[in-house]
Amino acid sequence: MHRRIHFSVWYLLGVFLLIAIIHGFVNSQNTERIPYSKFKEYLNKGLVKQVYIGVDVIHGEVIGEEGSRKGKPFVVAKVDDPDLVRELEKHKVEYSGQFENPWVKELVSWVLPMLILFAVWIVVFKKVGPGGSIMSFAKTKAKLYSKDETTVTFDDVAGVEEAKEELIELIDFLKNPDKFRNLGGKVPKGFLLIGPPGTGKTLLARAVAGEAKVPFFSMSGSEFVEMFVGVGAARVRDLFHQAQQKAPCIIFIDELDALGKTRGGSSLGGHDEREQTLNQLLVEMDGFDSRKGIIVMAATNRPEILDPALLRPGRFDRQILVDRPDINGREKILQVHARQVKLGKEVDLRVIASRTPGFVGADLANVVNEAALLGARRNKSEVGMPELEEAIDRVVAGLEKKSRIMSKKEREIVAYHESGHALVATFLPHTDPVHKVSIIPRGIAALGYTQYLPGEDRYLMTKSELLDRLCIALGGRVAEEIIFGEVSTGAHDDLQKATQIARRMVKEFGMSERLGLVTFERERKSLFLDNGLGVGKDYSEQTAYEIDLEVKRLIDETYDRVKEILETHRDKLEHLAKVLLEKEVVEGEEFKRIVSL
């Protein structure tokens, strides 16, 4: 109620202000107001050209400056002056009574603005609606791609064969809903694409629509959530309503987690609205008949925080994993994106794929794009291996910042630090070979880096491999200590990584003899199967203490091992660091030569 009253008061104020301005404007029009005495003065000097005598004012013109033919208009308030006419005649001024029609002017200056404002009022009112509910807000913001607009097909999505296979059945259904209907089969309603960011979930959903040639409603989870309570729910309702008219079609909710977070989780204000929206989504998903040909797809990279109710049968009961691609997948993705650029004959995408473990589709698209840009900058007619290699480096660690100035001492520290990582990796049995050591600073955090060349993708790691990784992580810091006798802050990241590996070995993988084959971490991935409320510790303080001790012991032991390796090979450490300081980058063959000296 209060809001509306306020609204009217402001509105009225605005109206009056506007009217006053227009009124003043109509009347002024660069007419000079002068006192009667001045008018008389002009008259006696013979400067007045003509006058119109109105009811209570006299309008007139004085002769302008010499040369200008146009007179200067003035207005003067009428005074009781019976001699005026005689004087006008005496000075031969042209005079006339004015057919002033005051109400015409009033009409222009008062009534017209009123009409305009009234029109504006009506337009606004229509939008807002008489009940004060904001009707247009409740309309879904979903972007609708008609069936000819979705040009993405399965050919554009590579390296996710399993996900594609699962979706083929769905496409079949969308193409031919009658077939399924006649058999009375039950088609799943909701498909949830789960995977890390950039693996192509959004792309895959659009490809499904493109393959099935059906309309595609696309909306992001966050777009449902608005300031006003109830708007999100109304939008959900409207979305499903519209979809029903377009069936068969796909509703795609991207970033479902923005909307589908576990209810009752946060007590901060504003979650009410999200809960309402989520509830409405659950209601709609239960309510519609999938045999009509509406399929709801959604994507998330955080399935563990989704409300369990969303994953119950009849809702998003099909979960499709869209994982990071393996080497073959990466090669295929590179091929997809390489279609857009001209590649040199010598380019071997397999090699690029082998150098980019852990990259997702979006990263690989980025690599190809960067390479094309580099090629253009170098005036090349086609993109070659050097461009692709450099593009990888760029994507790996942000843009190269050669211009960043590092002091001589800092460069030395970084060189020894990276050499330490690289040497430890070389002299341990269970590690990947070093591909490249660089002390060119990249991005904000990394001052240098060492890249390894894994032979194959890894899904399992043995204890010895993990221990060796731990060694590599500590290699940088230990090298600094051996050479300079003190450490810098540059090893911060490494220590974090080392601690993380050690903790996981103890807590998750049961690799500590002392604590035994127990895992102390609830597996988060399966959280969405139970109610998933709270991820508290489920072990005692005493155990926590012992875990800490074990982690510390593991790291201390590793430290000794690393120190021994680096002290034994100190000559190589120094040699490698020197070459690095000189060349900034040491790669493959050259590296092998240095360490085998």
Where on the chain is the footprint of ligand ADP (CB under 6 A)?
157-160, 195, 197-203, 299, 333, 336, 361-362, 365
In angstroms, what is the minimal distance from the CB of 409 to ligand ADP? 41
Active site residue 418: yes
Helix (H) / strand (E) containing 333: helix 327-338
Which residue, 140 or 300, has its beta carbon nearer to ligand ADP? Answer: 300
Which residue, 441 or 476, has its beta carbon nearer to Zn ion? Answer: 476
Judged by beta carbon distances under 5 to 8 A according to partner kind, the member of Zn ion, Mg ion, ligand ADP, none in contact with residue 200 is ligand ADP
Where does residue 62 rank: exposed (0-12), middle (13-18), buried (19+ CB within 10 A)?
A: buried
Q: Hey, what are 184's tokens?
A: 């009375």
Distance CA 242, CA 448 (A): 54
Distance CA 439, CA 451 (A): 12
Distance CA 313, CA 464 (A): 43
Question: Are the CB atoms for 310 and 256 separated by under 8 Å?
Answer: yes
Which residue, 204 or 372, has its beta carbon nearer to Mg ion? Answer: 204
Which residue, 74 or 416, has its beta carbon nearer to Zn ion? Answer: 416
Distance CA 290, CA 315 (A): 10
Question: Are the CB atoms for 314 and 268 separated by under 8 Å?
Answer: no
Torsion of Cα atoms, 495 then 501 then 505 then 509, to 10°: 160
In angstroms, what is the minimal distance from the CB of 299 to Mg ion? 6
* DSSP state letter for 110: I
In angstroms, what is the minimal distance from the CB of 319 to ligand ADP? 15
In angstroms, what is the minimal distance from the CB of 523 to ligand ADP? 23
Judged by beta carbon distances under 5 to 8 A according to partner kind, the member of Zn ion, Mg ion, ligand ADP, none in contact with residue 494 is Zn ion
Judged by beta carbon distances under 5 to 8 A according to partner kind, the member of ligand ADP, Zn ion, Mg ion, none in contact with residue 361 is ligand ADP
Cis peptide before 248 (omega within 30 of 0): yes
168 phi, psi to nearest 5 deg: -65, -40
Which distant-in-sequence residues (6+ apart) come within 8 Å of 350 by Cβ?
327, 331
In angstroms, what is the minimal distance from the CB of 417 to Zn ion? 6
Question: Are the CB atoms for 260 and 532 separated by under 8 Å?
Answer: no
Judged by beta carbon distances under 5 to 8 A according to partner kind, the member of ligand ADP, Zn ion, Mg ion, none in contact with residue 171 is none
DSSP 272-329: HHHHHHHHHHHHHHHHS-GGGSEEEEEEES-GGGB-GGGGSTTSS-EEEE-PPP-HHH
Judged by beta carbon distances under 5 to 8 A according to partner kind, the member of ligand ADP, Mg ion, Zn ion, none in contact with residue 226 is none
Judged by beta carbon distances under 5 to 8 A according to partner kind, the member of ligand ADP, Mg ion, Zn ion, none in contact with residue 190 is none
In angstroms, what is the minimal distance from the CB of 420 to Zn ion? 8
Contacting residues toward Zn ion, per CB under 5 A = 476, 494
Distance CA 302, CA 261 (A): 9
**Among residues 202, 218, 366, 426, which is the contact residue for Mg ion, using CB under 5 A?**
202
In angstroms, what is the minimal distance from the CB of 157 to ligand ADP? 5
Which residue, 350 or 583, has its beta carbon nearer to ligand ADP? Answer: 350
Question: Are the CB atoms for 431 and 452 separated by under 8 Å?
Answer: yes
Which residue, 285 or 320, has its beta carbon nearer to ligand ADP? Answer: 320
Distance CA 479, CA 573 (A): 8
Judged by beta carbon distances under 5 to 8 A according to partner kind, the member of Zn ion, Mg ion, ligand ADP, none in contact with residue 428 is none
Which residue, 276 or 431, has its beta carbon nearer to Zn ion? Answer: 431
Judged by beta carbon distances under 5 to 8 A according to partner kind, the member of ligand ADP, Mg ion, Zn ion, none in contact with residue 264 is none
Q: Hey, what are 363's tokens?
A: 């990263």
Question: Are the CB atoms for 277 and 222 separated by under 8 Å?
Answer: no
In angstroms, what is the minimal distance from the CB of 336 to ligand ADP? 5
Question: Are the CB atoms for 62 and 49 separated by under 8 Å?
Answer: yes
Residue nearest to Mg ion (CB): 202
Judged by beta carbon distances under 5 to 8 A according to partner kind, the member of Mg ion, ligand ADP, Zn ion, none in contact with residue 475 is none
Helix (H) / strand (E) containing 554: helix 541-568
* Alpha helices in 107-184, H assignment, sequence order: 112-128, 161-175, 177-183
Q: Among residues 370, 418, 480, 481, which one is catalytic?
A: 418
In angstroms, what is the minimal distance from the CB of 300 to Mg ion? 9
Q: Hey, what are 487's tokens?
A: 């450490």
Distance CA 125, CA 112 (A): 20
Question: Look-up: residue for tokens 């077939």?
Answer: 179
Which residue, 322 or 447, has its beta carbon nearer to ligand ADP? Answer: 322
Contact segment (CB under 5 A) with Mg ion among 53-61, 197-205, 245-253, 334-342 equals: 197-205
Judged by beta carbon distances under 5 to 8 A according to partner kind, the member of ligand ADP, Mg ion, Zn ion, none in contact with residue 333 is ligand ADP
DSSP 115-131: HHHHHHHHHHHHHH-TT
Which residue, 157 or 278, has its beta carbon nearer to ligand ADP? Answer: 157
Which residue, 296 or 483, has its beta carbon nearer to Zn ion? Answer: 483
Which distant-in-sequence residues (6+ apart) come within 8 Å of 543 by Cβ?
515, 520
Distance CA 338, CA 344 (A): 11
In angstroms, what is the minimal distance from the CB of 154 to ligand ADP? 10
Q: Number of residues in contact with Mg ion, rule: CB under 5 A?
A: 1
Q: Site residues (CB under 5 A) for Mg ion?
A: 202
Q: Which residues are catalytic?
A: 418
